[in-house]
Chains A and B, each alone.
Chain A
Amino acid sequence: MTKERKLTCIVCPVGCGIKLTYDADRREILSVTGNQCKRGAAYAADEVFAPKRVLTTTVRVEDGFLPVVPVRTAQPIPKEKIWDALKELAALQIKAPVAYHQVICPDVAGTGVAVIAERPLPAETEEKAG
């Protein structure tokens, strides 16, 4: 059956309004309009059949310049796995220093996707006093 759906693309802050038609039985996209770039079309297809999100959160750090380090999933993960991933990451504690894009967790919530550090985080002692 052909279905229609309106979405707001969330891939980038432009936020294009996308209209698409798809065949629900054959799981096939028939048409996509309103997107300003290719990423929008890919997002719309995913959103209809298997919505995904990048998860960004923090993980506790021992002896760090800051008590937490921001982390993100290296790729978007299925939307329904977000809560499991959050629970798993909340239980972690890593040691400073942390390198840029250091792998914090190789496979979060069984998604096969790694979680990486968004920034380098020096140990507390490495902090240069102003």
Chain B
Amino acid sequence: MRKIQCDVAVVGAGPAGLAAAGRAKAAGAGRVLLIDRDRELGGILQQCIHNGFGLHLFGEELTGPEYAHKFIAENQEAGVEVLLNTMVLQVRPDRHLYAMNRREGMLDIAAGAVVLAMGCRERNRGAVTIPGTRPAGVITAGTAQRFVNMEGFMPGRHIVILGSGDIGLIMARRFTWEGAKVEGVFEIMPYTNGLTRNVVQCLHDYDIPLHLNHTVVEIHGRERVEAVTVAKVDEKLQPIPGTERRIPCDTLLLSVGLIPENELSRDARIELDPVTGGPVVSDEMETSLPGIFACGNVVHVHDLVDNVTRESRLAGEGAARLVQGRQPGGPVLATRAGEGVRYVVPHRLHLANLAERETTLYMRVREPAEHVRIEASVGGERVLSVRERVVRPAEMVSVKLPPGSLPADCTGTELTLSVVKEGERA
């Protein structure tokens, strides 16, 4: 078995892995190894050929492949080493990785620090719970995206979309452009799961109807999908009898959410957050296992790649600091999701970092709301309050804590983020 020694090993070469590897190298880590099972770098970005990436980071609107290209070039210049077509099979708590590829067989990689950046997988559970036959033509939106944008073929001509996630919305327009008929997008919740801009430019622009409070209750067809039955749902998300409607189609596209890909983390017994499905991390993006970091969609599902990059640079920086013995020590403060907040990342903040640098907290709200404030409090004392005109579960909210904004002595307390209606107090 070939043995490889490196300072930082990064698992997954999507935007998260690329940013972590590049930053680790820039921050002075010696040998940085970037590993991906795919045949090229870029992760999911290579199939996201639409524009809308990077405006916040670069001030220009890039497509997924363009965004990836920038980072691929940067990594190449920095001297990050790359192993493609290589699947990481196991991550051990002592920072040994076992990986495999066709050329060399098994690899034993010993790293000073490990960064997990495996991204996420599409949920397909929706299909499993839909009654009816199991014909061909039921696929996830991301798979369809890869087929159309990278493999160059159309998986169907007459399409119904279940779920209003971004990939589904983007694919509604893509299919329409390629000459297919998209009958509509059916979303079980009373609000969409995708970004508003995607509802506007992908559905409204092409008169594709969005049916909120609707779901698919049956799939018809023997060999191939022939139709689906949709129905309205009540407040408990149960189909309302008598509202069923049969829609002929040859393809049902599922866009019902993403789940962080954490088999490796679970196997290594890294502590996971039950809400995000990803590792519990510090403000250095370090997991519960010392020296093992995580960033990007493997930690929590991001809607903006710019945030993935920012967060992943912290992970790269953290990994470099660790191998150089420059990690911050001292007490940490836990974060907590308060009223109206579903989760907060990171979960632990080093007081030493809080005093020195700006800290960004990412969160998702439970429900859509208008005219609210996001409040951060420590031990009952309000330390920050930011106004938000609109907050929606589909759009991640970020809150910036300026350096030194916390009371000097807050060890043993928690930092709580809550959503407060304008005019009320937390």
Give residues in A with beta carbon < 8 Å to B: 8-15, 17, 34, 39, 53-54, 56-58, 60, 66-68, 70, 72, 79, 82, 86, 100, 118-120, 127-130
Q: Which of A60, A66, A86, A119 contacts B151 (CB 8 A)?
A: A66
A13 to B103, CA, bound (A): 41
Chain A residue nearest in CB terms to B56: A12
Contacting residues, chain A, for B195 (C-beta < 8 A): 13, 15
The answer on a CB contact under 8 Å between A72 and B196 is: no
Stretch with Cβ within 8 A of A (4 or more), from B11-19, B125-133, B197-205, B281-289: B197-205
Chain A binding surface, main DSSP class: loop
B69 at the A interface (CB under 8 A): yes
User: Which of B69, B101, B197, B304 gathers the greatest number of chain A CB atoms within 10 Å?
Assistant: B197
A130 x B85 contact (CB < 8 A)? yes
For the complex, give the distance between the alpha carbons of A79 and B206 in Å.
11
B residues with a Cβ closer than 8 A to A are 39, 46, 49-52, 55-56, 61, 63-66, 68-69, 84-86, 101-103, 148-152, 177, 195-197, 199-201, 205, 303-304, 389-390, 395
Q: For residue A127, which residue of chain B has the nearest CB?
A: B39
What separation, in Å, do the CA atoms of A43 and B65 have in the docked complex?
24
Q: A13-B197, A53-B201, A54-B51 are in contact. Are A118 and B151 (CB under 8 A)?
A: no
Whether B196 lies near A56 (C-beta < 8 A) is no
B residues in contact with A57, CB < 8 Å: 49, 177
A70 engages B51 (CB within 8 Å): no
Q: Are B52 and A8 interface neighbours, CB within 8 A?
A: no
Contact of A119 (CB < 8 Å), options: B65, B152, B304, B390: B65
Whether A72 contacts B51 by the Cβ 8 Å rule is yes
- The answer to whether B152 touches A58 (Cβ under 8 A) is yes
A94 CB to nearest B CB, Å = 13
Indicate if the CB atoms of B150 and A66 lie closer than 8 Å: yes
Q: What are the residues of chain A within 8 A of B101 when measuring CB–CB?
A: 130
Task: List, sorted by A's number, 9 A–B pairs whose CB atoms are closer than 8 Å.
Answer: A8-B197, A8-B200, A13-B52, A56-B63, A70-B65, A72-B63, A118-B49, A118-B66, A119-B69
Of chain A, the residue at the smallest CB distance from B86 is A130
A54 to B205, CA, bound (A): 13
**B197–A10 CB distance below 8 A:** yes
Q: Are A130 and B201 in contact (CB under 8 A)?
A: no
A8 to B61 CA separation, bound complex (whole angstroms): 17
- Select one of A12, A60, A72, A100 contacting B69, CB under 8 A: A100
Contact of A70 among B63, B196, B199, B304 (CB under 8 A): B63
Q: Is the CB of A56 within 8 A of B69?
A: no
A10–B51 CA distance with the chains assembled, in angstroms: 10
Q: How far is the CA of A129 from the CA of B103 in the complex (A)?
A: 8
In the assembled complex, the CB of A122 is this many whole angstroms from the nearest CB of chain B, namely 9
Contacts of B152 in A (CB 8 A): 58, 60, 66-68
- CB neighbours (8 Å) of B303 from chain A are 13
CB < 8 Å: which of B49, B55, B68, B389 contacts A12?
B55
Contact indicator B200/A10 (Cβ below 8 Å):
yes
Q: How far is the CB of B89 from chain A (nearest CB, A)?
A: 15
Q: Across the interface, which residues of B come within 8 angstroms of A70, CB to CB?
A: 49, 63, 65, 149
Q: Is the CB of A56 within 8 A of B39?
A: no
- Contact at A130–B103, with CB atoms within 8 Å? yes
Contacts A11-B55, A67-B151 given; 18 further ones with Cβ under 8 A? A8-B197, A10-B201, A12-B55, A13-B303, A15-B196, A34-B389, A53-B205, A56-B63, A58-B148, A58-B152, A68-B149, A72-B49, A72-B63, A86-B177, A100-B69, A118-B63, A119-B66, A119-B68
Q: A72-B63, A130-B101 are in contact. Are A17 and B389 (CB under 8 A)?
A: yes
The verdict on A17 contacting B65 (CB below 8 Å), with A56-B49, A72-B51 known, is: no
Residues on A with C-beta less than 8 A from B69 are: 100, 119-120
Q: Which of A39, A79, A119, A127 has the most B CB atoms < 10 Å from its CB?
A: A119
- In the bound complex, residues from chain A placing their C-beta under 8 Å from that of B149 are 58, 68, 70
In the complex, chain B residues whose CB is within 8 Å of the CB of A128? 84
When C-beta atoms are compared, the residue in chain B nearest to A71 turns out to be: B49
Chain A residues within an 8 Å CB radius of B150: 66, 68
A123: shortest Cβ distance to chain B, in Å? 14
Cβ-closest chain A residue relative to B177: A86
Structural contact, B46 and A119, CB atoms closer than 8 A: yes
Q: Which of B50, B52, B55, B390 contacts A17 (CB 8 A)?
A: B390
Count chain B CB atoms within 10 A of each CB in A66, A82, A120 and give the residue with the most: A66
Q: How far is the CB of A125 from chain B (nearest CB, A)?
A: 15
State A79–B201 Cα separation when bound (angstroms). 11
How many Å lie between the Cα of A12 and that of B148 in the bound state?
24
Residues of A within 8 A of B196 (CB): 8, 15, 17
Which residue of chain B has the shortest Cβ distance to A16 in the bound complex?
B389
Minimum CB distance partner of A55 in chain B: B177
Cα distance, A14 to B150, chains bound together (Å)? 27
User: Hey, which chain A residues are within 8 Å of B51, CB to CB?
Assistant: 54, 56, 72
Contacts of B61 in A (CB 8 A): 11-12, 54
In the complex, which residues of chain B have a beta carbon less than 8 angstroms from the beta carbon of A67? Answer: 151-152
Cα–Cα, bound, A72→B150 (Å): 15
